[in-house]
Amino acid sequence: MLVLAKSPAFTSTPSRAIASPSARSSVDSPSSSPSSRSDTPDPDDSACATRAQAGDMSALDELVARHHAAITRLLWRFARSRADLDDLVQETFLRMVRGLPGWRPHLPFSHWLLRIATNTGRDYFRRRRVRDRWQVPAGSSPGETDAPTPEAVDPGADPAARAASEEVKHLLDHLSPDERALLTLHHLEGWGLADIARNYGWTLTATKLRAWRARRRLRALYESASPS
């Protein structure tokens, strides 16, 4: 119990051992963290986005095609179901289209889009929190005998990985939306706290404090969920 409080998995550098690029040999796809990408704008992206700003639909198609895999992968960490993932990815690209007139070519397009995606993910957590708060628990009404059939979980290419991902998401479900977004990016995507702070417009100190509190709660949840 006490070991957990000081253990590397839950202290300030948990994902260094877990999610740092060097330790992620088993993970096929690279991290989407902004620091893992170049800070200089990709000329192809910039050219495409500039043409899309001017109303070129083929440039818009190209932007979607270039980025949809990375955005899907990032938002899969947030989504609880396939249908939610569809909605989140679509919402991200719709926000991109709406915000395109405000994008400036000196900013890396991928960073800008990543920020839209993470904000979409955090908004999703907030909506779910509100919905869960007002939702009547299954079986609480007198006439209800059976709980609704849960949505079938797509086992994916790697059922063990899918099950583990579901378990982590289920644990994170108990945290506040901001904490969930923070730990989702930190633990599952391997983002550094500085990247997360910059992305959400938080100060680094506040982000560290929030991460510390979230990890403490997560630790308690994990301990209560897994008998040792």
Partner 1 sequence: MKTPPDSPDSRWENLLRRAQADQPPALDLPSLQRAARAEARRPRPDERPASPAWTALLPFRPLLSTCLAGTCAFGVLASWQVWEWWQVLPWAQLLAASQGGAP
**Footprint on this chain of partner 1 (rule: CB under 8 A):** 3-4, 7-10, 15, 17-19, 24, 26-29, 52, 55, 57, 60-61, 63-65, 68, 72-73, 75-76, 82, 85-86, 89-90, 93-94, 96-98, 100, 154, 156-158, 160-165, 167-168, 187-188, 190, 222-223, 226, 228
Q: Structure tokens of 26? A: 């088993």
Nearest approach, Cβ of 46 to partner 1 (angstroms)?
A: 18
Q: Please, which residue, 44 or 154, has the CB nearer to partner 1?
A: 154
Q: Please, which residue, 130 or 170, has the CB nearer to partner 1?
A: 170
Q: Please, which residue, 18 or 107, has the CB nearer to partner 1?
A: 18
Q: Structure tokens of 226? A: 């897994």
User: CB–CB of 113/71 below 8 Å?
Assistant: yes
Nearest approach, Cβ of 152 to partner 1 (angstroms)?
A: 13
Q: Please, which residue, 187 or 210, has the CB nearer to partner 1?
A: 187
Nearest approach, Cβ of 23 to partner 1 (angstroms)?
A: 8
Nearest approach, Cβ of 178 to partner 1 (angstroms)?
A: 20
Nearest approach, Cβ of 223 to partner 1 (angstroms)?
A: 7
Nearest approach, Cβ of 146 to partner 1 (angstroms)?
A: 28
Q: Structure tokens of 198? A: 């910059």
Nearest approach, Cβ of 205 to partner 1 (angstroms)?
A: 25
For the beta carbon of residue 222, count every other beta carbon within 10 angstroms. Answer: 16
Beta-carbon contacts of 202 under 8 Å, excluding residues fewer than 6 positions away, are 196, 210
User: CB–CB of 211/12 below 8 Å?
Assistant: yes
Q: Please, which residue, 145 or 226, has the CB nearer to partner 1?
A: 226
Q: Please, which residue, 29 or 40, has the CB nearer to partner 1?
A: 29
DSSP per-residue string spanning 28-68: -SPP--GGGS-SSPPHHHHHHHHHHHTT-HHHHHHHHHHHH
CA dihedral 98, 104, 108, 110 (to 10 degrees): 10
Cα 211 to Cα 12, 77, 124, 180: the distances in Å are: 8, 17, 19, 10
- The span from the CA of 52 to the CA of 46, in Å, is 10
Number of residues that make up the chain: 228
Q: Please, which residue, 38 or 58, has the CB nearer to partner 1?
A: 58
Q: Structure tokens of 67? A: 């980025």
